[in-house]
């Protein structure tokens, strides 16, 4: 991340890891595969065991809030911001880097949320024509002004309280848009 994707050599990476270049190549094959693994690992922290739990048996408002909070905690972490800036800086010269990031992170998270939203529509808890589009809107709302200020280094990492407030606001707005109206509404 310090050197950027284009400037980082496999020799530098091996030296920093304290292994031979051959060891790096034997595990990853090429630099793009190594960076994809880094990106996938970071994204897994969001989607994995401690990330977005999308249990269809729980209250969707609670699920969306917890998912929003987990998402924000990951993407607003300084390491994630550094990774994102690196990808943005290098994607014009190395489109495979952007593709790897999109596949491992945004696309996977959106597909996972869309699947959950589809289950909530089938259950009659939420109403929407296109769960994929709704999932995209959910993540777009989370990448609002707070996120932009952090990406642009206009502010420090938000506190847990600020993250929770942003997650609450986004999940509540999403629920207002897609909640099935109670009878009599």
For helices 160-178 and 131-142, what crossing angle results, to 10°?
150
173 domain-assigned: yes
116 domain-assigned: yes
117 domain-assigned: yes
**What tens digit of pLDDT does each residue of 113-152 get?**
999 999 999 999 999 999 999 999 999 999 999 999 999 9
pLDDT at 127: 96
CA distances from 46 to 39, 60, 100, 181 (A): 11, 18, 16, 31
7 domain-assigned: no
pLDDT at 2: 66
Whole-prediction pTM: 0.81
Q: How far apart are CA 173 and CA 53, in angstroms?
A: 20
Domain count, the chain: 1
92 domain-assigned: yes
Range(s) of the domain holding residue 116 = 30-178
60 domain-assigned: yes
69 domain-assigned: yes
| CATH number (domain holding residue 127) | 1.10.357.10
96 domain-assigned: yes
pLDDT greater than 70 at residue 49? no
């Amino acid at each position: 991340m310090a050197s950027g994707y284009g400037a980082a050599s496999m020799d530098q990476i091996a030296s920093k890891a304290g292994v031979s270049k051959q060891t790096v190549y034997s595990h990853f094959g090429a630099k793009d595969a190594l960076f994809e693994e880094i990106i996938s690992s970071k994204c897994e922290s969001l989607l994995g065991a401690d990330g977005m739990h999308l249990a269809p048996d729980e209250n969707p408002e609670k699920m969306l809030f917890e998912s929003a909070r987990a998402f924000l905690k990951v993407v607003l972490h300084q390491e994630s911001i550094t990774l994102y800036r690196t990808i943005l800086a290098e994607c014009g010269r190395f489109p495979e880097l952007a593709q790897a990031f999109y596949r491992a992170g945004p696309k996977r998270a959106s597909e996972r949320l869309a699947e959950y939203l589809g289950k909530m529509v089938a259950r009659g808890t939420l109403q929407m024509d296109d769960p994929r589009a709704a999932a995209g809107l959910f993540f777009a709302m989370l990448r609002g002004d707070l996120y932009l200020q952090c990406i642009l280094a206009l502010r420090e990492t938000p506190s847990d309280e600020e993250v929770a407030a942003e997650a609450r606001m986004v999940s509540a707005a999403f629920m207002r848009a897609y909640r099935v109206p109670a009878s009599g509404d």
